[in-house]
Amino acid sequence: MTALLSIRDLTIDYAGHVQAVRGANLDVHLGEAVGLVGESGSGKSTLASAITGLLPIGARILGGDIAFKNESVTSGRKQAQQILRGDEIAMVFQDPMTAFNPVLTIGDQLVDFQSRMPGKAREKYARAVAMLARVGIPDPALRANSYPHEMSGGMRQRAAIAAALLVNPSLLIADEPTTALDVTMEAQIIHLFRELRQDYGGGILIVTHHLGVVAELCDRVYVMYRGEVVEEGAVDDIFHEPRHPYTRALLACDPARLHERAGYLPVITDAERATFMQARPR
Amino acid sequence: MLAYTIKRIGLGLLILIGVMFAMYAAVFIVPGNPARAALGPRATQEMIDRLTREMGLDQPYLVQVYNFFVNVLSGNLGIDVISNRPVATEIWEVLPNTLILCLVGLGWATLLAIPLGCLAVLKRGTWVDRAASLLSVSVISLPYYVVAIYALLIFAVQLNWLPAIGDGDPGDIGSQIRALILPAFAIGFTWVGYLARLVRASMLDVMGEPHIRTARAFGVPEWKIVTKYGLRIALIPTLSLLAVSLGGLISSAVFVEVIFSRPGIGKLVTAAVNLRNYPVVMGTVLVMTGIYVTLTIAADLLIARIDPRIRDAFRGA
Amino acid sequence: MPSGVLEILKRVTRDPLGLLGLVLVVIVIGAALFADAISPYDPARIDVLNKLQGPSAAHWLGTDQLGRDTLSRIIHGARVAMGIAVFSIGIGAFIGLILGILAGYGPRWLDAVLIFFFDSLSAIPLILFALTVIVILGPGTGTLIFVIALISIPVYGRLVRAQTLSLRRSEFILAEQSMGASLPRIVGIHLLPNVLGPLVILVSMDIPTVVALEAALSYLGLGVKPPTPSWGTILNDGYVSLRTNPSLVIAAGIPLVIATLGFTFFGEALRDALDPKLKGRRAS
């Protein structure tokens, strides 16, 4: 089976000196949900934004290749990535508070987000309302006419997922889709993703620092640490037999996996960190 | 929205009252009698005393202020000491002329500046952006009255394309429009740069916000992102800064009217200042400050209309 | 904050516009300082036989209605313009600084009173305010300085207040307070140096406005009184003889263009040099 998305030896640096991503390899296949985990600053979000060519100002790709459906999107013309956006690839962003334009209605924006799709504005609007209903937003016709600040955080994140599904992408990238939400909302959004996976045939890449999200949603997982992919494998394997010491440390810090009551939450100490970079499990 | 409107208008009235108190305080504190000043050095003490009484200047400070407000509320702004006509009538005759001048001047500047600011953002970092920035800075800093005089010299005196003075013949729209071109150009000149810069700066702020990234990630065309997603938000700070600077527009109208001998508030007030015609000056300042305060309120309400967040913040209040 | 003045100037001149601005500013200030030495004639010398002449070898920029040398009058006009700018901005910025710190660091009610004062003062269109004061005090250089200083106060007051407010909540001031530092120490050692940078930038941006305002009021005959040469009165002389001798009005506009553009370019470059944060927003 050939990969939908295939990243090889990707290296990205910031302002010419900090290497945010170093020689990363990653594959996403059709019908598969892949997790990309790591702590803040591990380079996971940089890697994800490189796929659609939306790297922050100052960042640039030094080497390696990103291929989508066997065609390189980094070596060709700049347009290649732009054409993919909002068509083959859709993104769900981290913060639903700021992901929508505050002075335009949700429906208006959902229509604009279908700019690569055929059809009249009226049809797109009807599609948007139907999709809002599909992601579990009550009274979707009213909500399409609402401004973002009139909706709750969870509802906005549902709307953001609706936006991504509207363009019927082959690859859906969700960048920290639950980070900005409280625990109840997070559970609902995870539930929504699981439900949607049943009739969505494309690939999903979920970027998160939350291992629980990965355990709930993903088939395979990549672990990033300091710009490198340090471990990769099926979710079950990695959760039960982590090979890299960083993965082990990360798992040990997950509050959901604590078996006994501890006085304080475990953290990764500097002494532990010193051992991570020498370790080469593969 | 209604509560917000009332609050804004209340604040505007308060500022207007504060201004009048301050101006009367200034007249009261500062040595020198406006009546004496108006009558000139050859006036006898008797004449001065009589005019002082007529103008109510012999009353205590608070009584003067009270009388003034009572008169203003009944539409009476006092009597011109030179022509003996009501000040309100004199202002009312020339006010439309000044308003048209300001409106047209600001209008053409806005129509040019907003696309210019957007273009600079679209072509960020290129020579187009740099040229637009340089143009804006130069245009802002050049004194508009020098520009007005140079324009007068070139287009009216040397080329003789447009009239140099006046506001056109009564009843002849064509000549009135021709007489408006140079003054409106001079008034709007500074504003092109000022507005283009404001639009560009607030637009650059907006373009860094996450929702712009969302729109880009969905392949919304860049021109649409700039004009629909960016401009709508960028106009909010632009409008509020614009409202604060409207006093400058009125100031420039005064000079432009003098240079082009165009009847209006500016000509009225400068002539009055030269003759020490104190009631006319006070009346004009009150009316113009009132217009300025009204415009700032209008701008604030417009901002509330554009931005649903502000609108809702005051819905319950 | 950069350390020396030289270092700042070096950064200003790295920007071509900043360099141009600096050159123009030096020309204007030089003319103001050495007006007597470099003027070809006495600016007040009347020579009716040679009135309203165009540019010539004897009079580079021609003469006015009274036969006075335009170039000499313009050079001396620089002294008047700079003098008024220095005095009025100096007074306005000083009072604004004090009121701003009072508003930002003092009790809440004082802040409210001062803000209302600033708002009211700047709610009156500048020119109308100036005209009102002039009609009461009578025209003249003193009135002009008084008016400009008065309308500058809210501008500086607001800036200093905003700076003070944000500094007041900053951690190093809170730390000083918790260690029992005295009020003069906090204001003198922490607030002032941090407020001065933005204040200097604002002053340099304010100079072209003040120069233009002085000339404007003098143009209307409400500012500097003749025979003292002001760029505004020279411009008005030129306006009066617009049809007979256009070279006078053209010459009279030039110093205003040089001074306003020069100080603006210099001020912009200075702002970029002193405050790198703002530069990104302008250049990128």
Q: Is residue A150 part of a domain?
A: yes
CA neighbours closer than 13 Å in the CB half-sphere of residue B216: 19
- Bridge partners (DSSP) of residue A172 are A90, A204
Which of B213, B219, B306 has the CB atom closest to A116's CB atom? B219
Q: Which of B288, B92, B257 is nearest to B179 (CA)?
A: B257
* CB-based contact, B261 to chain C, within 8 Å: no
Domain assignment of residue A108, yes or no: yes
Contact B218/A at CB under 8 A: yes
**Nearest Cα to C81, choosing from C245, C250, C199, C252?**
C252
Tokens 């000549």 correspond to B175
Buried b / exposed e along B142-171 (16+ C-beta atoms within 10 A): bbbbbbbbbbbbebbeeeeebbbeebbeee
Distance from CA of A198 to the nearest CA of B (A): 24
Q: Is the model's pTM score more than 0.80?
A: no
β-bridge partners, A52: none
Cβ A55 vs Cβ B213: under 8 Å: no
Flag if B210 and A93 touch (Cβ within 8 Å): yes
* A73: contact with B, CB 8 A cutoff: no
Instruction: Evaluate the CA torsion angle C165, C170, C176, C177 in order and state its sign.
Output: positive
> How many beta-carbon pairs below 8 A join chains A and B?
82
Cβ of B312 and A100 within 8 Å? Answer: no
Q: What is the pLDDT of residue B272?
A: 83
The first and second tokens of residue A233, run together, are 């494998």
User: What strands lie across the sheet with A59-68, from one edge to the other?
Assistant: A18-28, A5-14, A59-68, A71-72
Give the gap in angstroms from C-alpha A91 to the nearest C-alpha of chain B: 7
> How many C-beta neighbours within 10 Å does residue A194 have?
12
In this structure, is residue A232 part of a structural domain? no
**Is residue C253 pLDDT above 70, yes or no?**
yes
Cβ contact (<8 Å) for A115 and B224? yes
3-state helix, strand, coil in chain C (%, to 5): 75, 0, 20
- Is residue B54 within 8 A of residue B78, CB to CB? The reply is no
Residue A146 inside a domain? The answer is: yes
| Residue C92: pLDDT band with limits 50, 70, 90 | very high
Chain segment B267-306, per-residue pLDDT in tens: 888 888 777 777 888 888 888 888 888 887 887 778 777 7
Q: What's the length of chain C?
A: 284
Q: C interface mutation test: which of B20, B55, B98, B146 has the most C CBs within 10 A?
A: B146
Nearest Cα to Cα of residue B124 among B269, B226, B41, B36? B226
Compute the average pLDDT of residues C244-270: 86
Pick out chain B residues at pLDDT < 70. 1, 26-41, 310-317
A138 lies in a domain? Answer: yes
Backbone CA torsion sign across C58, C61, C64, C68:
negative
Both tokens assigned to B294: 């009204």
C-beta of residue B136 within 8 angstroms of C-beta of residue B194 = yes
| Beta strand extents in chain A (DSSP E only) | 5-14, 18-28, 33-37, 59-68, 71-72, 89-92, 171-175, 203-208, 220-225, 228-234
State the nearest Cα–Cα gap between B67 and chain C, in angstroms: 19
Q: What does the buried/exposed string (b/e) look like for C69-78 if buried means 16 or more CB atoms within 10 Å of the residue's CB?
A: bbbbbbbbbb
pLDDT of residue B37: 65
| Under 8 Å between Cβ of A90 and A172 | yes
Cα gap A188→A185, rounded to integer Å = 5
In angstroms, the CA A103 to CA B308 distance is 6
Beta-carbon separation of B232 and A103 below 8 A: yes
Cβ-proximal residues to B130 (8 Å cutoff; 6+ apart), any chain: none
Q: Check residue C90 and give its pLDDT.
A: 92
pLDDT tens figures, C2-44: 457 777 788 878 888 888 888 988 888 888 888 777 777 777 7
Q: Are A200 and A30 in contact (CB under 8 A)?
A: no
Sheet holding A220-225, edge to edge: A89-92, A171-175, A203-208, A33-37, A220-225, A228-234
Per the CB < 8 Å rule, is B220 touching A100?
A: no
Find chain B residues with C-beta within 8 A of C16's C-beta.
none
Q: Give the dihedral sign, CA A219/A223/A229/A233.
A: negative
In a domain, A152, yes or no: yes
CA pair distance C232, C223, nearest whole angstrom: 9
Hey, what domains does chain B have and what are their CATH numbers?
Answer: 2-73 (no CATH), 88-307 (1.10.3720.10)
Which C positions 105-124 lie with beta carbon below 8 A of chain B?
116, 119-124
- Going B140 to B145 to B150 to B156, the CA torsion angle's sign is positive
Q: Which of B141, B153, B289 to mutate to test the interface with C (most CBs of C within 10 A)?
A: B141
For chain A, the domain total comes to 1
* Alpha helices (runs of H) in A52-148, residue ranges in sequence order: 79-84, 106-112, 121-134, 140-144
> What is residue C280's predicted lDDT score, i.e. its pLDDT?
38
Q: What is the pLDDT of residue B175?
A: 79
pLDDT higher than 60, residue C281: no
Residue with tokens 């009347």: C46
Asked if B209's CB is within 8 angstroms of A115's CB, the reply is no
Contacts of B158 in chain C (CB under 8 A): 246
The predicted pLDDT at position C135 comes to 74
Q: pLDDT value at position B316?
A: 42
- Contact between A82 and B209 using a beta-carbon 8 Å cutoff: no
Tell whether C17 lies on the interface with B, counting CB pairs under 8 A.
Answer: yes
**Contact between C222 and B137 using a beta-carbon 8 Å cutoff:** no
Is A280 contained in some domain? no
User: Taking a contact as any Cβ pair under 8 Å apart, which residues of chain B between 182 and 211 contact chain C?
Assistant: 201, 204-205
pLDDT the model gives residue B26? 66
Distance CA B8, CA B27 (A): 29
Domain that residue A163 falls in: 98-168
**Does A87 contact B220 at a Cβ distance shorter than 8 Å?**
no
Size of interface B-C (CB pairs under 8 A): 141
Task: Walk along chain A (282 residues) and give the pLDDT tens digit of each residue.
Answer: 568 888 888 888 887 677 788 888 888 988 888 999 888 778 888 888 888 877 877 788 888 888 888 777 776 566 566 667 778 888 888 777 788 888 889 999 999 888 888 888 888 999 899 889 888 888 988 988 988 888 888 888 889 888 888 888 888 888 888 877 788 888 888 888 888 888 788 888 999 888 888 888 888 989 888 888 888 888 888 888 777 777 877 777 776 666 666 667 677 777 777 677 665 544
A69: region left, alpha or beta (phi > 0 left; psi from -120 to 50 alpha): left
Residue of B nearest to C284 (CA): B125
Domain ranges of chain C: 3-283
* A53 and B CB contact within 8 Å: no
Q: Which residues contact C34 (CB under 8 A, 6 or more apart)?
A: none
Q: How far, in Å, CA of A131 to CA of A162, rounded? A: 6
Q: Tell me: the pLDDT tens digits for C124-168?
A: 677 777 877 787 777 888 888 988 898 888 888 888 888 888 777
Token output for C264: 């603006």
Q: Which CATH superfamily is domain C3-283 in?
A: MetI-like (1.10.3720.10)
- Look at residue C88 in the predicted model and tell me its pLDDT: 92
